[in-house]
Amino acid sequence: MPQPVPTHTIPPRLKRTVRPERVATPGADEAARDPRAFWRAVEDGGTPVVGEDDGTGHRPVTFLWRGGDELADVILVANKIADADSYDHNRMERVPGTDVWHLTYRMRGDWRASYTVAPVPADGAPAPEGSLSAMTRLRRERALAVADPEDRPAVARWFDALAHAVPDPLARERLDATASVVSLPEAPPELWRPVGGRAAAGASTGASAGTGPSADERAPAEGEVTTAELVSDRLGNTRTVWVHRPALAPPDGRPWPVAVLLDGRDWHSLPLAPLLDGLIADGTLPPALTVMVDSLDPATRTRELACDDAFVDFLGHELLPWLGDRHGITGDPGRTLVAGQSLGGLTAVYAAHRAPHRFGRALSQSGSFWWPNVAVTGGESERMARLVAGADTVPGRIHLSAGLNEWALLDANRRLRDALSARGADLGRDPGYVALTEYNGGHDRACWRAGLPEGLVFLTSDWER
């Protein structure tokens, strides 16, 4: 049976106070006059339709859906823009007498987000059984658990709509089989993006795409990815791990540096290996073994990635020795990093704090440094910042990143950065050992995959090439 989610891992419920500005949709008059010609133009350019900079660094961004009287609502579900408190704000309007549903936001030109569209049927028919993913079902459970009684009907309505959510069929970019992506022209380039069928360093995408990489960049030497099932005595479970070994080895026969990536199934399925091959081939990253560690099911992930000592012991005393038996890996913590997102970002920093002899570098994307939930701990929150303030040592380098739309954790990331900087100064460390990147996005794999190379470069710039 599924294990209950510990309530102290439920993020604090903070209602968004500022929402994106809705503006009139450019082209709505043309859609009313000739819907077929309107759709032909949209199909040629893809969606969303992105307008010109208005002189303030913002652009109109128009999302569209094609449907008729069979629909009661069409809801745009953009990461950290849409939530249970904003159902009406994210409803598309229908051009009367047409099959054109539309919604236009005025957004800063560096915005990136994954999104889906939820066409809600007029007959009230429920979505097929199992339409909500395991993670979305967990989010529903969490949201209802922390919602005020008067807000619970709105939360339930929101998740009922999410059950109908699908990718945008005309989107220029896809996150995976379940979601689309919008990347405005000034958003950071996505180095992972395939060119000629392969990921290549230097490629930029979306509305800001350039000419692409050279032929040499398109075909870096392929590394090898091996898959194994790793049994953990400490955790009492078994999980899949994927190990990427690049074609280039460390110079002079030196042992392999190691990068441990949590939530490894997401990274393996990207796929991450071609990106690593390209970045190592062009010297952006040094040769290193990358081990991607599966997180099993949501309940197990939530338990293990909440500053769990047993999980840190698994990483240091089971995973790394297992890897060392198969490859000549370094024992230098300054050449060993751990990376994660959300609770995984919290765990990455906690692992470097608790096991500094093994993990000297940490990469945290959207780290859940609000943890634990103050509402269920009698007042305690942001434990990681408190641990850092009293630490005997700090990691060699730490790279944090968080989205400007992550209102529940952005300030906590800033406070952790400040705590790390202050403690580092006390210990005589160069203040540049910790960095925080703030991007215009949310709690979003589309942003994480775009930002991962920056964090890896920061952490490995002194590793041997």
CATH (domain of 335): 3.40.50.1820
In a domain, 189, yes or no: no
What three-state secondary structure class fits 78? strand
Query: Residue ranges of the alpha helices (H) in 315-354?
Result: 320-326, 343-354
| Alpha-carbon torsion, ordered 263, 265, 268, 272, to 10 deg | -30
What three-state secondary structure class fits 102? strand
- Spatial neighbors of 99 by CB under 8 A, at least 6 apart, are 35, 66, 67, 68
- Quick one: which of 369, 287, 377 has its CA closest to 327? 287
The encoded tokens of residue 244 equal 């990427």
174 in the same domain as 242 = no
The residue out of 164, 183, 202 marking a domain boundary is: 183
Sign of the CA dihedral with 97 first, then 99, 105, and 106 last: negative
In a domain, 2, yes or no: no
Whole-number Cα distances in Å, 260 to 28, 59, 306, 341: 49, 38, 17, 12
Please name the residue that has the structure tokens 């958003």.
187
125 in the same domain as 206 = no
- Quick one: which of 357, 366, 288 has its CA closest to 329? 288
d(CA 189, CA 183): 9
285 burial (CB, 10 Å; 0-12 / 13-18 / 19+) is: buried
CATH (domain of 37): 2.60.40.10
In angstroms, what is the C-alpha Rg of the chain? 23
Residue-level pLDDT, tens digit, the chain, 465 residues: 444 445 566 666 666 667 899 999 999 999 999 999 999 999 999 999 999 999 999 999 999 999 999 999 999 999 999 888 888 999 999 999 999 999 999 999 999 999 999 999 999 888 777 777 776 777 777 777 767 788 788 888 888 888 899 999 999 999 999 999 999 999 999 886 654 333 343 333 333 333 444 444 456 899 999 999 999 999 999 999 999 999 999 999 999 999 999 999 999 999 999 999 999 999 999 999 999 999 999 999 999 999 999 999 999 999 999 999 999 999 999 999 999 999 999 999 999 999 999 999 999 999 999 999 877 667 789 999 999 999 999 999 999 999 999 988 999 999 999 999 999 999 999 999 999 999 999 999 999 999 999 999 999 999 998
- Spatial neighbors of 456 by CB under 8 A, at least 6 apart, are 259, 279, 285, 337, 339, 363
- Quick one: which of 269, 265, 286 has its CA closest to 462? 286
The encoded tokens of residue 445 equal 């794999």
300 in the same domain as 202 = yes
d(CA 162, CA 309): 35
150 in the same domain as 204 = no
The encoded tokens of residue 442 equal 């949310």
The residue out of 129, 158, 183 marking a domain boundary is: 183
Whole-number Cα distances in Å, 368 to 19, 111, 343, 456: 22, 22, 5, 19
- Spatial neighbors of 413 by CB under 8 A, at least 6 apart, are 364, 366, 367, 369, 400, 401, 402, 436
d(CA 85, CA 273): 39
146 in the same domain as 202 = no
210 in the same domain as 134 = no
Q: Which amino acid is at 46?
A: G
In a domain, 378, yes or no: yes
| Domain total of the chain | 2
What three-state secondary structure class fits 288? coil
pLDDT of amino acid 380: 83
d(CA 435, CA 415): 12
d(CA 296, CA 100): 41
* Cβ atoms within 10 Å of 88's Cβ, excluding its own: 9
- Cis? peptide before 96, omega within 30° of 0: no
154 in the same domain as 215 = no
The residue out of 149, 183, 217 marking a domain boundary is: 183
- What angle is formed at CA 81 by the lines to CA 346 and CA 272, rounded to 5 degrees? 50
DSSP 350: H
- Cis? peptide before 2, omega within 30° of 0: no
* Predicted structure pTM score: 0.90
249 in the same domain as 364 = yes
213 in the same domain as 177 = no
240 in the same domain as 155 = no
In a domain, 241, yes or no: yes
198 in the same domain as 176 = no
58 in the same domain as 108 = yes
Helix axes 134-146, 152-162, angle to 10 degrees: 170
In a domain, 1, yes or no: no
Structural domain harbouring 135: 7-183
Residue 184 contacts residue 107 (beta carbons within 8 Å): yes
In a domain, 188, yes or no: no
Question: 237 - beta bridge partners?
Answer: 232
